[in-house]
Amino acid sequence: MFNLYVTGTDTGIGKTLASCTLLHALREHGLRVAGMKPVASGCTEIDGAWKNEDALALQAAGMPGLAYADINPFALEQPLAPELAARDAGIDVTLPPILHAHARLAAQADALVVEGVGGWAAPLSAERMQVDLVRALRLPVVLVVGLRLGCLNHALLSARAIVGDGVHLAGWIGSQVDPAMARVDDNIAMLRARLPAPCWGVLPYAPNADPSMLTQYLRIPTAA
């Protein structure tokens, strides 16, 4: 099964767009795909349940019929760091509900893309870091690099932390979040030379883009 965890160099750098584009690219290979956002803060009440915009985008990019509660087991109302949002909601973010939801999705899909929160070092809760979930699920990691001034430092530090945590960094995806960034190609070349994993592609700056139209920019290895 094609199964991976998507993290980023920061929040707001295109993890969801990259995750949804990955799902559409995998669908083009005839695979049954599912996206997952285990913990999401900043939710709106829809039909009596809290739902998150990013998780809904992952649901739309995946195969039909998947339960939202499995895609997003912990939907937190406040748009805060998950630890704070969970504390405000009186919720304890624990691994078992996530692991069970992941197992249910995995039983229905050929490929599963799990999107993390913020950057790699953003905690899931007061007691748990993202690496705890990644280790429990035994997932390789793909790093989304927000291409803007400072991205070299953020990308290299993130990669060092991922590898240092003993997790397999399978690849990275560039995400052009700043249309005015100078010397983009040079920065991408430096990232290719320095990051200890292959580049899976670079997504262009495209606000409100349909991820199904961006699959041409990705090259996914047959084995992550």
Q: Whose CA is closest to 143, among 171, 113, 176?
A: 171
H/E/C letters for each residue in 78-129?
A: CCCCHHHHHHHHCCCCCHHHHHHHHHHHHCCCCEEEEEEEEECCCCCCCCCC
C-alpha R_g of the chain: 16
CA distance 55 to 183: 33
CA distance 42 to 72: 12
Measured CA distances, 18 to 13, 90, 125, 211 (Å): 9, 31, 24, 8
Eight-class DSSP state of 216: G
- Which listed residue (15, 24, 27, 37) is catalytic? 37
Q: Is 37 a catalytic residue?
A: yes
Active-site amino acid positions? 37
